[in-house]
Amino acid sequence: MSSLTFASAHQLAGMIRDRQVSAVEVLDAYLTQIAKHNSKLNAICTLDEDNARTRAKLADEALARGENWGALHGVPITIKDIFETAGLRTTAGYIPLKDYVPQQDATAVARLRAAGAVIMGKTNMAELAANYQSTNSLFPRVNNPWHLDYTPGGSSGGSAAAVAAGLSPLDLGNDFGGSVRQPAHFCGVYGLKPTDRRISTAGQIPEVPGMPLSIRQMMTVGCFARSIEDIQLCFSLIAGADLRRPDVPPIPLDRPSGKPLQHLKIAWSDEWADVPVAAEIRIAMQSMAQKLSNAGVQIEPWIPKEFDLTKIFNLYGRVSAYLNVYAQPVDRYNIRRSLQLIFRTATQGDKELRKLGNFASFLPELLNPTLKGYFEALTQRDRFTACMDEALEPWDVWLCPVAATAAFTHCPAWSAVDVDGKSYPHAVANGIYTIPFNLSGHPAVVIPIGKTENGLPIGMQIVGKRWCEMELLAIASAIDKLVGSWQGSPEFMV
């Protein structure tokens, strides 16, 4: 059983194509794994067993006729509950959408279906993707497969937990401030945030259906898997221009250079000086750098000269405020939730660190947004992106942590997080290492590189040049072979 549920998506596709196993048999294996373990994790919030079984049977019948639907023919997958799925409930963990059944797939979902995927169900998440933990008012909180008392991260915690626990080989997520990368790090799986606007966001909430399309920057569609090969496959299937989103440029996928690791120039940082990471993460980063160096890789400590975290974090907050102000209805519930976030990040955690993530500083713009202010924020963002493009030009990739800490125990939303005895504001602990690349638009992939003393995963972020995801993933694959390797929690592999 576990040989199927922990096989990679591309391996399963090959086995189904070669008639070593049927699509129905693979689906049954996953449904059995879900029935056995999902009640502990709450990773899958909506299961579509009947339609998945029908689709799997059709996949087997098509193969018997010599037909192949595509690269994921017959492979069962899951989809984060933030993406619209035709005929299947899509809630984004938001009470007003508890009975929402879309008539059309999100573009990324449609492309996976067109490649032959069998959608088993939807994965649980933070309400409207607005939390670094995966809790909402509709479904039970998501738990981490490595320790149920710990969070799997957010907002895509159900996606990462499902892939880590063998409930799904592949999951579609989104990333606005680390929502793919932080859960991948917390759960020990692979995750990709692509270049801004590389993949269409059509059919993706948190723009509540019926609201104007306002989140036009920094929101990306990514994916989770148990191998870099599956990330490459999924990305290649869902990337590209879309008539539903004319702002997605028709830029073809890049071709990897094929250069060996020893011919690359790699930068790395074990932490930002202003926001140190937990000692175990720093040690894991240093061990990774040493392994690469011992293998003859040219790797050097580095951080951009103009990398002012206070300016970066506050600019991200300003842009986010403008993008989100029209994305959801203005009601008492949303106002209360937003004020809770602002209050806790402004009052909890180390006083100096609170200056980095003081969301209260742009509350006036949330309450009274202006077109001039929006354009000023976007102009500053363009300047930051250009500076990052220039800084990264001499390097093939930049390696850095994903978050200040590994997974932490479940806690009230946006409350402070302990990092080696120091109290960090929630947004700083979880977002300070991911948010710069949402702001700049650069792609980043997370690979697992180790574990803490109590067995929690540690991931590493690999940042590449914009529009060069295939080169980034090729390099990540080579690095992964030297310093990483996916491991599953033994509890879910029996």
Q: Is 415 a catalytic residue?
A: no
Q: Between these two residues, 63 and 2, which has the higher pLDDT value?
A: 63
State residue 127's pLDDT score: 95
CATH 3.40.50.10330 fits 262-474, yes or no: no
Span 444-478, pLDDT tens digits = 999 999 999 999 999 999 999 999 999 999 999 99
| Residue 369 confidence class, pLDDT cut points 50, 70, 90 | confident
Residue range 269-294: mean pLDDT, rounded: 97
**Per annotation, catalytic residue among 80, 122, 193, 465:** 80
| Residue 271 confidence class, pLDDT cut points 50, 70, 90 | very high
Residue range 219-233: mean pLDDT, rounded: 98
pLDDT at 485 over 90: no
Q: Which residues contact 67 (CB under 8 A, 6 or more apart)?
A: none
Give Rg (Cα) of the chain: 21
Cβ contact 444:462 at 8 Å: yes
Residue range 400-417: mean pLDDT, rounded: 96
All CATH 3.90.1300.10 domain ranges of the chain, comma separated, are 2-238, 262-474
| Residue 359 confidence class, pLDDT cut points 50, 70, 90 | low
| Residue 385 confidence class, pLDDT cut points 50, 70, 90 | very high
Q: Is 179 a catalytic residue?
A: yes
State residue 148's pLDDT score: 98
Cβ contact 206:143 at 8 Å: no
pLDDT at 1 over 60: no
**Per annotation, catalytic residue among 155, 159, 320, 338:** 155
Q: Is 80 a catalytic residue?
A: yes
Q: What is the pTM of this model?
A: 0.97
**Per annotation, catalytic residue among 179, 440, 477, 489:** 179
Q: Between these two residues, 413 and 335, which has the higher pLDDT value?
A: 413
Cβ contact 111:199 at 8 Å: no
The tokens for 424 are: 């960090």
Span 133-190, pLDDT tens digits = 999 999 999 999 999 999 999 999 999 999 999 999 999 999 999 999 999 999 999 9
pLDDT more than 90, % of the chain: 87
Residue range 36-58: mean pLDDT, rounded: 98
Span 112-126, pLDDT tens digits = 999 999 999 999 999
pLDDT at 417 over 60: yes
State residue 347's pLDDT score: 82
The tokens for 58 are: 């059709």
Nearest CA-CA partner of 155 in 139, 135, 185, 137? 135
CATH topology of domain 2-238: Amidase signature (AS) enzymes (3.90.1300)
pLDDT at 407 over 60: yes
Q: Any idea which residue has 């951009």 for tokens?
A: 304
Angle between helices 279-294 and 469-483 (to 10 degrees): 90
pLDDT at 333 over 90: no
The overall average pLDDT reported for the chain is 95
pLDDT at 103 over 60: yes
